[in-house]
């Protein structure tokens, strides 16, 4: 058994949905929340017959200041058509749907379908005006002329359901709030408050099979005399779905340590944007990797210690400037490390050619260079761990420059091999005539 309620013009959609959910958890919302269909199966044992249920629905709506129409039938379509056409209470006895709908106009059907009106025009050319006229046509002839869509329209005219009820899922809010009896202005007591709020939030996420994609923390500051109430809000974009309360609390506290509120707090609200939880498949063969919760906590601690712009993943930029790079948020790659296979080599196990790489220093090392005939002849490096000596072989110079409109560079580069076998990349800053070691060739 199904019921349909239709709100009058100006009815609040939220109030109409609240009335419907008091009678059934399975509802279907239509026509911009003005029409709601309820699955009333089993409700007769609790409230009585169909008319009693309809009167109770109308009485509950009236208590909330709503004027509604109510229709109850054995099919959803019959209840929807009746509630759209007739005011007050409409009860359709089981098995009499076609007779009850026979006198209703055909113009009601397009409101229940996505048809723009083509079938209605065809029916009117045939001389049909009511649902009973369409229901009385031979089904085989309708199928021959209009196909299966025409048969579907005829079933609707008879009050038959052509699809099951798909209940509307209420929007869930993953949010917890707490009003404090006494204001707090330190992170240590705030940690206990966040833990108390995040534990039920973790349980809610686990019941729904969700994880947090974004963590929102809103701290309501104590209202000053004559001033507006301020809200200190922080949002943390999480690299992977997380629902562990301790991890979320640690991330929130580390972020608040870097961005503290401006005054005492008397209300705390924690909310998350849910997303499908991670499904992790562990392996007995591959090496174990740190969990995303551990990586997120580590990154948050590093950012609190070093600053957000200094932590992340370095990526190259489109520039000729030596050592140019920028930092992007660190996101762990999917998958696990694999066990190293057999040594790679050339054909028949021969060694592979050695690759030459320049290991560039993050900060160039100052050096003293003696120049003979325009070429480096001897290199002296005072930094511990670096060798110096005479130059046995060198190549260069290569002149590079750029970014003259800001802090740019202008230098001559040399690759030199010293007598002890070490190979370095040197450069001379042309503006200061100073020499530096830019890197070592491995």
Task: Please indicate, yes or no, if residue 367 is contained in any of the structural domains.
Answer: yes
Residues 112, 214, single domain; the answer is: no
Q: Is residue 293 part of a domain?
A: no
Domain-ending residue, one of 157, 188, 217: 157
Q: What is the pLDDT of residues 296-309, one digit of tens each?
A: 777 777 877 777 77
Query: What pLDDT does residue 346 have?
Result: 46
Q: Are residues 240 and 135 in the same domain?
A: no
- Do residue 135 and residue 67 come from a single domain? yes
Distance, C-alpha 164 to centroid of its chain: 30
The answer to whether residues 60 and 148 belong to one domain is yes
Please report whether residue 19 resides in a domain: yes
Give a yes or no: residue 310 inside a domain.
no
Alpha helices of 259-318 — where are they, by DSSP H? 292-306
In a domain, 344, yes or no: no
The reported pLDDT for the residue numbered 172 is 77
Which range of residues forms the domain containing residue 203? 176-276
pTM for the structure as a whole: 0.49
Retrieve residue 67's tokens. Answer: 């004027």
pLDDT value for 234: 92
pLDDT of residue 337: 42
In a domain, 34, yes or no: yes
Q: Are 68 and 18 part of one and the same domain? A: yes
Task: Name residues of the chain where pLDDT drops below 50.
Answer: 335-352
368 and 263 assigned to the same domain: no
Identify the domain boundary among 115, 130, 157: 157
185 and 230 in a single domain? The answer is yes
213 shares a domain with 128:
no
pLDDT digits (tens, 9 = 90+) for 243-295: 889 889 988 998 888 888 888 898 999 999 988 877 666 667 777 667 776 77
CATH code of 153's domain: 3.30.70.270
- Which pLDDT does position 383 carry in this prediction? 82
pLDDT in the model for residue 100 = 86
Structural domain contains residue 132: yes
Q: Is residue 186 part of a domain?
A: yes
Quote the number of domains for the chain.
Answer: 3
In the prediction, which pLDDT does 215 show? 92
Q: Are residues 74 and 186 in the same domain?
A: no
pLDDT at 332: 63
Of the residues 129, 157, 185, the one at which a domain ends? 157
Question: Do 122 and 210 fall into the same domain?
Answer: no
Residues 152 and 50 reside in one and the same domain: yes
% residues pLDDT > 90 (the chain): 8
CATH of the domain at 196: 3.30.1490.100
Residues whose CB is less than 8 angstroms from the CB of residue 37 and which lie 6 or more positions away in sequence, other chains included: 2, 3, 4, 27, 28, 30, 76, 79, 80, 165
Asked if residue 144 and residue 6 are part of one domain, the reply reads yes
């Amino acid at each position: 058994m199904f019921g349909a309620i239709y709100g009058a013009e100006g009815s609040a959609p939220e109030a109409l949905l609240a009335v419907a959910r008091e009678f059934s958890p399975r509802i279907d919302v239509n026509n911009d929340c003005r029409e709601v269909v309820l699955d009333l199966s089993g409700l007769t044992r609790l409230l009585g017959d169909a008319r009693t249920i309809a009167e109770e629905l109308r009485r509950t709506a009236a208590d909330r200041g709503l004027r509604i129409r109510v229709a109850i039938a054995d099919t959803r379509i019959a209840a929807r058509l009746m509630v759209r056409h007739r005011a007050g209470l409409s009860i359709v006895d089981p098995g009499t749907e076609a007779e009850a709908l026979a006198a209703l106009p055909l113009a009601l059907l397009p409101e229940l379908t996505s048809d723009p009106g083509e079938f209605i025009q065809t029916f009117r050319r045939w001389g049909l005006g009511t649902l009973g006229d369409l229901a009385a046509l031979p089904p085989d002839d309708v199928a021959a002329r209009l196909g299966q869509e025409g048969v579907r329209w005829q079933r609707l005219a008879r009050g038959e359901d052509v699809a099951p009820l798909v209940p509307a899922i209420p929007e869930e809010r993953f949010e917890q709030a707490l009003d404090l009896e006494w204001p707090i202005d330190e992170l240590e007591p705030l940690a206990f408050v966040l833990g108390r709020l995040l534990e039920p939030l973790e349980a809610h996420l686990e019941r729904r099979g969700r994880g947090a994609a974004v963590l929102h923390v809103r701290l309501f500051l104590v209202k000053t005399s004559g001033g507006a109430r301020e809200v200190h809000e922080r949002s943390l974009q999480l690299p992977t779905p997380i629902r562990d309360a301790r991890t979320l609390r640690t991330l929130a506290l580390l972020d608040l340590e870097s961005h503290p509120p401006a005054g005492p707090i008397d209300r705390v609200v924690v909310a998350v944007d849910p997303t499908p939880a991670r499904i992790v498949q562990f392996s007995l063969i591959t090496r174990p990797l740190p969990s995303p919760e551990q990586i997120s906590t580590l990154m948050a601690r590093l950012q609190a210690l070093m600053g957000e712009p200094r932590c992340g993943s370095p990526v190259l930029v489109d520039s000729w400037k030596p050592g140019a790079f920028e930092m992007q948020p660190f996101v762990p790659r999917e998958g696990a490390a694999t066990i190293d296979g057999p040594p790679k080599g050339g054909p028949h196990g021969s060694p592979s050619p050695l690759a030459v790489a320049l290991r560039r220093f993050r900060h160039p090392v100052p050096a003293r260079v003696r120049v003979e005939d325009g070429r480096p002849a001897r290199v002296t490096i005072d930094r511990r761990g670096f060798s110096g000596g005479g130059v046995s072989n060198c190549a260069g110079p290569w002149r590079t420059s750029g970014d003259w409109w800001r802090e740019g560079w202008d230098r001559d580069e040399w690759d030199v091999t010293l007598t002890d076998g070490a190979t370095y990349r040197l450069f001379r800053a042309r503006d200061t005539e100073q020499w530096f070691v830019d890197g070592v060739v491995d």
